[in-house]
Every structure is written in C-alpha cells, then in structure tokens.
Amino acid sequence: MSQEKNIRELHRDFISYCVNARLLRKATIRGHVAAFNNFMNLFNNELTLSDLTVETMEIFFERLNTRERKVGKEKIAVGVKNSTVGTYWSKLNTFMEWLYKRNHIAANPFEQLEFPKIQYDDRRYLDKQELEKIFTAVATRQWANNFVRKRNWAIFMVLFCCGLRRGELLGLKVLDIDLDHKMLVVRAATSKSRLDRTIPLNVQAFLALTDYLEERAKKGYHNTCLFVSDNMDHEFTKDGLKHTIQVLKQISKVHFFSHRFRHSFAVNMRYQGADISKIKDAMGHVKIDMTSRYLRCVPAESMRKDIEAISIANAL
C-alpha cells in the first residue's frame, strides 16, 4: 500500500478526481470537503492511513452523535439528525472506496458498517395554504414595477410547476422556453445530473412565462438569460432570488426556500397519480432512490383511490 501521501493530500487528489472525472457540481464538492474536514477535526487531524479502520469509523459516529455544538447565538445542541449521519456515511464511504481501489488502504471500512436507518418525518413540501400565502404575497406586494412583479410570479410558478433546482432556474436561457410546444428545457450544464431534460409547461407556468416575456420585450432587454434583473438587463442572480424570498417570507409569514418548491412539485405529481419513474425523469434524477426521498412525506390521503381499487374481485 502507498504511504507516500497523507490523508489530506489524498483527499485533495480525490476532490480533483470528483471535479475533473466525475464532473460533480460545486455544491456536492463542498459537501465532500465539509464532511471530510469534520471527520478529521473530530480526531484533531492526527489520523493516518493505517487508522482508517472499522473501529475508527464507529468512534467517529459516536463522537458525531454526542458532541455539543452551537446553534444560533446561545443555544447548545447535542448530536445531529439521522439524515446528517447518512450524509456523512455516504460522503466518507465514497472517499474510502476511492482509497481502496487505488491501493492506499487494504479495505474500505464501510464494507463492514450498515447504512443507518433513516426515518424522515419532517414535511419539506409546501401545503396548499402556504402556497396560497406565498403567491398572494407575490401578487399584492408593491414591487418596483410591473416587470418585476411578472418576473417574480413567473419564477415561483416555474419552481412550483416544473420542480427546478435553484441553479437550473437561474441558468435558464430564453431559448430554453418553447411557448409554441409548451416545453421548457433544462440544459446539462446547469443540471446536477449533467443530463438534458425537457419538462412540459402546464397552463399556469405557460401563462406566467408568456406574460413575463411580453413584459420583458417591452423593456427591450436582450440578455440571453431568461430571468433578468430590472437593473440594466443583467442576469437575475442567486443573491437577487435570496432577497426576493426574504421579502416574501416577511409578507407571507411562511418559512420557505426555493428547494421547498421542488419537494412540492414531486409530492403533487405523486398526489395526481404520476408513477415514481415519471417523477424521477421530470426531476432529473439519475437514481430512483433519490426521487423516493422527495416523496417521504406524501399525505396518506393520496393513497386512498389506490387502496379503494383493491378488492377480492380484482385480486391477483
């Protein structure tokens, strides 16, 4: 086994591999780096390759679940959520497997560890009442002008009706919207999966985009980005979206962020009867288990018509 580089040097090589060979997105890379740094910090940065054993991993998760950490300015919390344990497990396992396949360690210690059982009981989607409050806030707030109001209405309607990630939304180009065929294209360059996908526009999204593009044409803007600021035809940025959400949170009294609309999209597709494979394709997931995470809190009522269809007469 190679002992030429220490763990941190090897992790930098691993990150380079993730960036250049796997083409992982920046947010995913940050997650790998954060998980590794916390892992090393809990051992005072004193680990060597020979320390990467099953016992070390068990000690790490014990420390992760018992350490005290600051939450906000004064509150002290102990441990982390089960889902956070799962995130650490996945990130570190990927790195250990990379080390093993390159003969830096004799075995991946995670081969002898079971992935934690994670029970998701938090509701991530926005319910009908919350959605109504948010869209009412968009419609009634005194924006700078009609262009900004119609742009914001289109932004949140696309988030809800198309299930886009924030980066996909902000990365949309004017040419990605086909009003004639009522289609929206998410390009591989902005998608987490690095795959193109086409999403049909329903009536609400179609009308919102049509109104916005007509208003945008009146401004004479020529930026190739679909959503632009009201400041000299510049692209609408992540900070601009963050500010808009903060304004709407204050008005609507609903705690939300852009990704909650993606959860809402998935849950409502399922509620309307779509099978999980269609939801997977619409959301741009590579694996169906990721889609299932978005459906973890589908209301029990959504199963009623499926269960009522069960009878002795049509049993297998």
Annotated domain spans of the chain: 7-112, 128-300
Share of the chain above pLDDT 70, in %: 88
- Residue 154 — pLDDT band, cuts 50, 70, 90? very high
- Residue 2 — pLDDT band, cuts 50, 70, 90? very low
Report which secondary-structure segment, H or E, holds 239.
Answer: helix 238-252
Instruction: Calculate mean pLDDT across residues 303-307.
Output: 62
- Residue 92 — pLDDT band, cuts 50, 70, 90? very high
Q: What is the pLDDT of residue 299?
A: 65
Classify each residue of 192-224 as buried b or exposed e, where b means 16 or more C-beta atoms within 10 Å of its C-beta: bbeeebebebeeebbebbbbbbebbeeeebebe
Of 218 and 292, the structure prediction assigns the larger pLDDT to 218
**pLDDT for residue 102 is more than 90:** yes
**pLDDT for residue 97 is more than 90:** yes
**pLDDT for residue 235 is more than 60:** yes
Task: Classify domain 128-300 at the CATH topology level.
Answer: hpI Integrase; Chain A (1.10.443)
**pLDDT for residue 218 is more than 90:** yes
pLDDT tens sequence across 65-83: 888 767 666 666 777 777 7
Q: What is the pLDDT of residue 310?
A: 58
User: pLDDT averaged over the chain?
Assistant: 88
Domain at 7-112: CATH code:
1.10.150
- At 124, the amino acid letter reads R
- At 150, the amino acid letter reads K
Instruction: Calculate mean pLDDT across residues 187-192.
Output: 84
Of 115 and 7, the structure prediction assigns the larger pLDDT to 7
Q: What is the pLDDT of residue 3?
A: 46
Q: What is the pLDDT of residue 303?
A: 60
Report which secondary-structure segment, H or E, holds 183.
Answer: strand 183-186
The answer to whether the beta carbons of residues 170 and 238 sit under 8 Å apart is yes
The answer to whether the beta carbons of residues 68 and 77 sit under 8 Å apart is yes
**How many CB atoms within 10 Å of residue 10?**
19
**pLDDT for residue 315 is more than 60:** no
- Residue 24 — pLDDT band, cuts 50, 70, 90? confident
The answer to whether the beta carbons of residues 257 and 185 sit under 8 Å apart is no
